[in-house]
């Protein structure tokens, strides 16, 4: 038979990054294209110990159906932890455990937007979220970014001209793909616009704890006095990404609807992982664990940046990130970015992600590419960056 | 601020069963209202052993991001296993691991239906699936059931009169809530209608392996020659429900779209659980394990039925199920079912689920209620059924 798919998914494509990642199946290819946590960042021994205890002492808790909202002790822990960071307002907010940050963003969109409603976001932005929004057939409008975050004039222009703007989606800390952090001034300005134009900010903060340089900037959620901010984050970069354990803090009526939608989506998230997350966070020295993670990423980032600084063609520009997993490099205007990225993986066996993959409209021009330093080993970073350096000099100098 | 939710979710309510389950927080209440596997059915020791091995020998596999389609060895195992049951057609079908059977059914709907398209289902049916379909604002039409499955005349009438019928959703084995099994003749007839009226059958089979009496009936999927059947099932009742590990076998183009939708929903399902499922199925004696499960449910079902047969008012009728987790009891016409169920939990401290919870339109009359025998202990079954017996006699005789 001939299959007809729903309008909302018929145009939906698998992430373009996955196409790049196919090249990386070739063992000769060094990949700077992924976005995985460093394998050495997983607290494997502690997880093994906690899992053994749980499956020995309380197996039914780990194996039986659980409640949609999430494991109550983990929710309680998170409410307290997020409160201490201004990211949970007790009295007005509630909190739900989701299957990763991805589900948090997807369900926020499902709950609030009708087909055709407008969702604004930074351009470029995280492709996984963009595709989630696209899968609800919303009007997805990208707003250009500057080094300190979204361009406010262009944002306000969109707010005046686009119809039914319901959500502004932002990754204020170490944005994926640009690694940029939004300034406090812009966070305040964006929140004021949300109040003035009556929309909700979806603040996606998967990397917030991974700041290894510079000063912490308050979250937009911590500035929220009117109940306009949905804050989502995840244990993916803090404990384990394979767990698929994320969380959302938001005004209680929004969480209530997310709970209903999550119930019909997957009933609840894997409960073994939720219990492990709770026991991990309440038995280890958390600041020490986070400091260890920051050390891993600081070192990898500095190693990669040292190659750009010392060996790349000077025509490639970038700004050193203060946290997160990514570096955003920009080619000179007269260089064809797609040709550069294709040549890199095909001829030089080093995979990077072409910047247009993160555009709201993929056919729009980009002269940047994304480098990831969290996944490769130090040796792979050294070898791969030496190759890229040679290539940039041959192509650009 | 005032929150406006999307049209598709604003009318969506949390499962009515959860309201009943609130009563069951009272430790005095004996609950026949849940649908959980028997705790003694979880192979806890084997899972603990496999988990310890995995986290010791291959921790990064269990903790790192994985692929959306699911753990390849588990997919390969399932393809072979399902092939042997006629539920995977190699060459034309593909298979994806989902976050429980729930996600399989939800994504099938998202992928195939626009808002307003028609989805037909048995009435009564599984409330979790019904709510998933409702969350996409589809035209949900229930078709009355008979003891051997859906009423074919009423189905054909709906096919002639409803617009854009895209999916018929069925639970042919030990249906939730009725415990009924669709006859082979009806399975064939329904498939013929699918070919004639050009729609897809979504065959949900979470209980298929839990047949403890009677003869096995071939799945509709095994009759499929035109690529019209999506077959979904789960390890929830076979290994662990807390894992959230389900699977879908369907024509490759449909799986391809489900993969894209799953990627934006939760990236992938918990990978630790997927690896455990694979290692469990390939290292234990599977027929023996399933036989053990059948033994557990056969005994519990017979215990519960013996009370209905021997102690209930004869005015309550039911048909003994041949598998699954549920018994469907019907009250005489002059008895108010809702009053009966409320009285049971409030005055007699025994919780059952009122039949109208499973109706497509909850305000439609039902004179039945659902009993679950898998979750309570044998002692709870005995005590609770004795109480219900007294109550049925007081109210009805």
**What is the reported pTM?**
0.97
pLDDT at residue B19 tops 70: no
pLDDT higher for B58 or A20?
Answer: B58
Residue A110, both tokens: 């499902």
Distance from the A131 Cα atom to the nearest Cα atom in chain B, whole angstroms: 6
**CB within 8 Å: A55 and B64:** no
Chain A residues whose CB is inside 8 A of the B251 CB are: 3
Residue B364 pLDDT grade (very low, low, confident, very high; cuts 50, 70, 90): confident
Q: Are A102 and B267 within 8 A, CB to CB?
A: yes
Alpha-carbon gap: A135 to the closest alpha carbon of chain B (Å): 7
Task: Enter the tokens of residue B332.
Answer: 């005489």
pLDDT value of residue A198: 97
Interface touch B242/A63, C-beta < 8 Å: yes
**Cβ within 8 Å, pair B12-A264:** yes
| Chain B residues inside the 8 Å CB shell of A39 | 60, 64
Q: For the purposes of burial, counting CB atoms within 10 Å of the CB of B303, is it exposed (0-12), middle (13-18) or buried (19 or more)?
A: middle
Of all residues in chain A, the one with the smallest CA distance to B39 is A60
Chain-chain contact of B244 with A268 (C-beta, under 8 angstroms): yes
Q: What is the percentage of chain B residues whose pLDDT exceeds 70?
A: 98
Q: Which residue of A has its CA nearest to B264?
A: A132
Cα Rg, chain B, nearest whole Å: 21
- Residue B25 confidence (pLDDT): 77
One-character DSSP codes across A23-45: HTTSTT-EE----PPPGGGS-HH
pLDDT in tens, A46-97: 999 999 999 999 999 999 999 999 999 999 999 999 999 999 999 999 999 9
Q: Which residue of A has its CA nearest to B271?
A: A242
| Per-residue confidence (pLDDT) for residue A325, from 0 to 100 | 98
> Which long-range CB contacts under 8 A does A345-350 form with residues at least 24 apart?
A345/A20, A345/A23, A345/A29, A346/A23, A348/A387, A348/A388, A348/A390, A348/A391, A349/A26, A349/A28, A349/A29, A349/A30, A349/A387, A350/A29, A350/A30, A350/A31, A350/A32, A350/A384, A350/A387, A350/A388, A350/A391
Strand order in the sheet with A368-372: A317-318, A326-330, A368-372, A353-354
Please say whether the beta carbons of B150 and B122 come within 8 A. Answer: yes
Q: How far is Cα of residue B354 from the mean position of the Cα atoms in its chain?
A: 17
Burial of A152 (0-12, 13-18, 19+ CB in 10 A): middle
State the pLDDT at residue B231: 98
Contact A253 B3 (CB under 8 A): yes
Q: How confident is the model at residue B16 (pLDDT cuts 50, 70, 90)?
A: low
Q: Enter the ipTM.
A: 0.96
Q: Do A60 and B42 touch (CB under 8 A)?
A: yes
B15 confidence band (pLDDT: 50, 70, 90): low
Cβ–Cβ gap B3/A115 under 8 Å: no
Task: Judge whether B68 and B259 are in contact, CB under 8 Å.
Answer: yes
**Among residues B269, B260, B224, which one has the least CA distance to residue B88?**
B224
> Which of A52, A65, A112 comes nearest B5 by C-beta?
A112
Which pLDDT score, from 0 to 100, does residue A204 have? 98
Residue B232 pLDDT level (bands cut at 50, 70, 90): very high
The residue count of chain B comes to 397
Per-residue pLDDT of chain A (397 residues; tens, 9 = 90+): 889 999 999 888 766 666 677 777 788 999 999 999 999 999 999 999 999 999 999 999 999 999 999 999 999 999 999 999 999 999 999 999 999 999 999 999 999 999 999 999 999 999 999 999 999 999 999 999 999 999 999 999 999 999 999 999 999 999 999 999 999 999 999 999 999 999 999 999 999 999 999 999 999 999 999 999 999 999 999 999 999 999 999 999 999 999 999 999 999 999 999 999 999 999 999 999 999 999 999 999 999 999 999 999 999 999 999 999 999 999 999 999 999 999 999 999 999 999 999 999 877 889 999 999 999 999 999 999 999 999 999 999 9
**A36, A114, A128 member nearest B7 (Cβ):** A114
If we measure between CA atoms, which residue out of B23, B36, B131, B122 comes closest to residue B374?
A: B36
Question: CB–CB of B60 and A48 under 8 A?
Answer: no
Task: With CB atoms and an 8 Å threshold, state whether B12 touches A59.
Answer: no
* Residue positions counted in chain A: 397
Return the residue of B nearest to A56 by Cα.
B48
For A287-348, give the DSSP string.
HHHHHHHHHHHHHHHHHHHHHHHHHS-TT-EE---SBSSEEEEE--TTS-HHHHHHHHHHTS
Give B250→chain A minimum CA distance, Å. 12
Q: Is the Cβ pair B244, A270 closer than 8 Å?
A: yes
Q: Determine whether the interchain pair A114/B6 forms a contact, defined as Cβ–Cβ distance below 8 Å.
A: yes
Chain A closest-CA separation from residue B306 CA (Å)? 27
CB contact under 8 A, A226 and B1: yes
- Residue A23 confidence (pLDDT): 76
Q: Which of A2, A12, A64 to mutate to test the interface with B (most CBs of B within 10 A)?
A: A64
Q: Do B12 and A261 touch (CB under 8 A)?
A: yes
Of B12, B240, B261, the CB nearest to A9: B261
| Residue B218, token pair as written in the block | 């071939």
Task: Identify which of B13, B240, B267 has the shortest CB distance to residue A260.
Answer: B13
Which candidate from A4, A253, A260 shows the least CB-CB separation from B12? Answer: A260
Chain A residue numbers touching B61 (CB-CB < 8 A): 242
For residue range B127-180, list pLDDT tens digits in order: 999 999 999 999 999 999 999 999 999 999 999 999 999 999 999 999 999 999
Residues 6+ apart with CB under 8 A from B387: B30, B348, B349, B350
Whole-number Å distance between alpha carbons of A228 and A168: 10
SS3 A211: strand
């Amino acid at each position: 038979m001939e299959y007809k798919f729903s309008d909302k998914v018929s145009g939906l494509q698998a992430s373009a990054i996955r196409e790049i990642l196919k090249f990386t199946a070739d063992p000769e290819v060094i990949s700077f294209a992924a976005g995985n946590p460093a394998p050495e960042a997983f607290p494997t021994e502690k997880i093994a110990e906690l899992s053994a205890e749980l499956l020995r002492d309380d197996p039914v808790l780990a194996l039986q159906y659980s409640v949609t909202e999430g494991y109550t002790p983990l929710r309680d822990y998170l409410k307290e932890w997020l409160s201490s960071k201004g990211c949970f307002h007790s009295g007005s907010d509630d909190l739900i455990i989701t299957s990763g940050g991805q589900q948090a963003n997807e369900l926020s969109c499902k709950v609030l937007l009708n087909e055709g409603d407008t969702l604004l976001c930074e351009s470029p932005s995280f492709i996984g979220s963009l595709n989630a929004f696209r899968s609800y057939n919303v009007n997805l409008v990208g707003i250009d970014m500057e080094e300190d975050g979204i361009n406010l004039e262009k944002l306000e222009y969109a707010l005046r001209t686009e119809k039914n703007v319901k959500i502004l989606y932002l990754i204020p800390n170490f944005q994926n793909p640009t690694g940029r952090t939004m300034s406090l001034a812009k966070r305040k300005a964006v929140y004021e616009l949300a109040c003035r134009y009556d929309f909700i900010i979806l603040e996606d903060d998967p990397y917030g704890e991974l700041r290894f340089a510079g000063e912490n900037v308050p979250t937009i959620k911590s500035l929220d006095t009117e109940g306009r901010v949905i804050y989502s984050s995840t244990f993916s970069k803090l404990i384990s990404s394979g767990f698929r354990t994320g969380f959302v803090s938001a005004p209680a009526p929004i969480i209530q609807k997310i709970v209903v939608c999550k119930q019909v989506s997957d009933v609840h998230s894997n409960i073994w992982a939720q219990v492990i997350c709770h026991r991990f966070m309440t038995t280890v020295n958390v600041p020490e664990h986070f400091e260890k993670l920051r050390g891993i990423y600081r070192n990898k980032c500095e190693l990669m940046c040292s190659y750009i600084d010392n060996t790349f063609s000077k025509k490639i520009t970038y700004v050193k990130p203060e946290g997160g997993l990514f570096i955003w490099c920009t080619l000179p205007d007269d260089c064809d970015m797609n040709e550069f990225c294709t040549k890199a993986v095909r001829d030089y066996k080093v995979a990077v992600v072409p910047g247009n993959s993160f555009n709201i409209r993929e056919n729009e021009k980009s002269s940047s590419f994304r480098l990831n330093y969290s996944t490769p080993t130090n040796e792979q970073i050294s070898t791969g960056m030496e190759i890229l350096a040679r290539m940039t000099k041959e192509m650009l100098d």
